[in-house]
């Protein structure tokens, strides 16, 4: 299992637009096959950093998921919304593999 962490730099004056964008992904991402952990908007500290986090079984599954997301009507609408509102200034994706499992005391 891979975890994709999307780090966004957002326009701090357009936090409400990012939150709408996040809610839309909250519908589209699970429907298209990824296990959405959540989208996170700035609250305290930095006013420009936001995150999207989801799990996907493999990079091959990621490619298929991205194709489904691009074809999804809400996905298309959300991509267009982000472009028209210009609240995303930068977007970086990192894929990580859990290294600390199992968690907790095995006793």
Quick one: how far is CA 60 from the chain centroid?
18
Residue 29 CB-density burial (10 A; 0-12 exposed, 13-18 middle, 19+ buried): buried
pLDDT computed for residue 105 by the predictor = 78
Q: What is the spatial distance between Cα 87 and Cα 73, in angstroms, rounded to a whole number?
A: 21
DSSP 25: H
For the stretch 26-47, pLDDT in tens is 999 999 999 999 999 999 999 9
For the stretch 43-98, pLDDT in tens is 999 999 999 999 999 999 999 999 999 999 999 999 999 999 999 999 999 999 99
């Amino acid at each position: 299992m891979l975890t994709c962490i999307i780090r966004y730099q957002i326009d701090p004056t357009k936090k409400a637009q990012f939150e709408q964008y996040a809610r839309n992904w909250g519908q589209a991402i699970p429907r298209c096959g990824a296990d959405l952990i959540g989208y996170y908007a700035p609250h305290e500290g930095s006013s420009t950093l936001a995150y999207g986090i989801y799990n996907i079984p493999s990079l091959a599954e990621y490619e298929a998921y991205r194709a489904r997301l691009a074809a999804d009507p809400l996905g298309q609408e959300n991509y267009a919304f982000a472009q028209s509102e210009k609240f995303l200034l930068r977007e970086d994706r990192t894929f990580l593999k859990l290294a600390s499992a199992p968690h907790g005391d095995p006793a």
